[in-house]
Amino acid sequence: MTMPDVLPIASGGPFLPEEDVEPLLEDFAQILRSGQLTQGEFLERFETDFAAVVGVTHAVGMNSGTAPLEVGLRFAALDGGEVIVPTNTFAASVSAVCLAGGTPVLADIDALTLGSGRSQIEELIGPRTRAVMAVHVGGFIDPAFDELVALCREAGLMLLEDAAHAHGARIESGGAGSLGDAAGFSFYATKVLTCGEGGMLTTNNAELAAFARSWRSHGQAADSRDIVRVGHNYRLPEMSAALGWRQLQRLEEFVDGREQLAQHYQQRLTHVDGARLVIAPPGQRHPYYKLPLVLPPMATRSAIGQRLKQEFGISTGSIYWPPCHMQPAFKQMCVGRHFPVADEILDRTLALPMHGALTHDEVDRVCDALLEILRGG
């Protein structure tokens, strides 16, 4: 079939409101004239305001979303100890454990949430377990997340949130980034809130925050130029911080828009036999960085995604396929283990187009195309 002569629909992308361009250029000019291109006023402003939005006492800007995960785990002094991580996550979550000197133990997922909750984590806790990394996949916080918090407290384990997708996400007990001992956010180009590249560690632990500030600057002491530990250059440039701060002022607006798009999808796709959207329950705040559609049995993400692209000009994504236990770098960690839910569910889970510039007319185009394909068109 020949693709219709219409504009393509992207699966995701950055959203930079036109009215923010001039103020941002003024910020950049101020930075350039100041000569303070890193660790300056805008970083401090961004960190202070981000901590307030998340609901924690400390936020430490870094140059990627991986860096805060690594640094948080380094603070835990893993020394080869095990960290339980969902298999349904980007490779950076697992890599951070390895970089911090830990041993990743991958967990299968829950079929409804697509993440790993208490039941998947508890069975993997052993004498060498030091920490649990909870991943808010697509920005969705498991409604039963408090059960995982309780489990980690009972077992004396560090709970680290991978909140790379979860800017503005919230459940009754608090916002993403405030629920565990620490969290890592990503500001990669396509994220709900972007700096182009960048990340943020959030925590209520003053000692951990001080460690992170030192580590991001080669291990430098807070009150001198002495190097007090081996560290790295994980600093967030001042221009990136300025962009992040401007984006932060619109975070609630961005999340509102994405929730409205998700509701539109839900209205259109509710009655598709055998398919379901992963939608937050009422009262929960969800930024929908990704909107997963679990396809009917026998359908596959690749086949449906290919038809959407070729016949309708609609790009889609995955949540994540292949999962980490299938990735060449991590396969050896999983010899003899099985991940039946992830294997069955993720190969038929499609990430629908979702980004700040997406229109409701485009949502209708996506739904019309999906319905035509799924109903045998």
User: Residues 111-141: pLDDT tens digits?
Assistant: 999 999 999 999 999 999 999 999 999 999 9
Check residue 1 and give its pLDDT.
46
What predicted TM-score, i.e. pTM, was given to this entire model? 0.97
User: Residues 167-207: pLDDT tens digits?
Assistant: 999 999 999 999 999 999 999 999 999 999 999 999 999 99
Cross-strand partners of 244? none
Cross-strand partners of 106? 85
pLDDT along the chain (377 residues), means of 10: 73 96 98 96 98 98 98 96 98 98 98 96 98 98 97 98 98 97 98 98 98 98 95 98 98 98 97 93 97 94 96 96 96 94 96 98 98 87
Check residue 376 and give its pLDDT.
83
| Element housing 29 (H / E) | helix 21-34
Check residue 377 and give its pLDDT.
62
* Selection from 260, 47, 3, 280 nearest residue 144 by Cα: 280
Check residue 204 and give its pLDDT.
98
Report how far residue 102's alpha carbon sits from residue 91's, in angstroms, rounded to the nearest whole number: 15
Check residue 5 and give its pLDDT.
66
* Selection from 132, 101, 61 nearest residue 230 by Cα: 101
Report how far residue 96's alpha carbon sits from residue 132's, in angstroms, rounded to the nearest whole number: 12
- The letter for the amino acid at 264 is H
Domains defined along the chain, listed by start: 18-248 (3.40.640.10), 251-374 (3.90.1150.10)
- CB neighbourhood size of 100 (10 A): 21
* Selection from 188, 161, 189, 175 nearest residue 96 by Cα: 161
3-state secondary structure of 280: coil
Q: Which residue has the tokens 């539109």?
A: 264
